[in-house]
Amino acid sequence: MTKVVRRPDLTFWEKIYFVEIFKGLATTMGHAKNSLLHADHFKVINYPDVQPNLPRDYRARHRLMKRPDGSPRCVACFMCSTACPARCINIVAEESPDHHIEKRPASFEIDLLLCVFCGFCVEACPCDAIRMDTRQAVLAGDNRRDFVIDKTKLMDWEPKDYPLEDAQSQKAPGGTLHAQALEEFKSGSYH
């Protein structure tokens, strides 16, 4: 059953719209006056000298997580490239020399010009190998090829840039938990 919603009847002055136009202009002029006379109310940072403080869960440029030996955690399962709606992730797999891991990526590329930063690749990854928490939100370049990031650029990060609570990042080489994780990795109990 449909519900009929009655529109309110307009008065004569509302029907000719001039009064409504001037009400709208008065509101706009009021906002313009406040922004010109009270500019100190607006929070402004001197960008690019001062970078914005982005939250840790902001979806920014991707990174590949590292194992304690420095190799990528990716097992080339293609779940991220399958889940990607923009089809911007290209992976070429190869056999891994580690008998615990079947495959590893020979090449891993993400075209940032195609990426919509939806985060589906992060959600689809079964082994937490890809993350989007670098806080690098401003991407600039003078060449299209600069926006295609490969495996070396994806793994170019330091554990000191991430909080101590992020245990997986701290297990990478240079992290606070690296020595313990490397012992587990060499013993075969690390996953």
pLDDT digits 0-9 by tens, 2-48:
899 999 898 888 888 888 899 999 999 999 998 888 878 778 888 88
Domains and CATH numbers, the chain: 63-156 (3.30.70.3270)
Higher-pLDDT residue of 117, 43 = 117
Beta bridge partners of 148: 111
Confidence of residue 131 (pLDDT cuts 50, 70, 90): very high
Q: Which two tokens stand for residue 135?
A: 């806080």
Task: Identify the sign of the CA torsion 121, 118, 123, 51.
Answer: positive
pLDDT digits 0-9 by tens, 65-94:
999 999 999 999 999 999 999 999 999 999
Write down the pLDDT at residue 187.
Answer: 83
111 exposed, middle or buried (CB, 10 Å; 0-12, 13-18, 19+)? Answer: middle
The pTM of the full predicted model, rounded to 2 decimals, is 0.74
How do strand 103-111 and strand 89-95 relate by DSSP bridges?
antiparallel
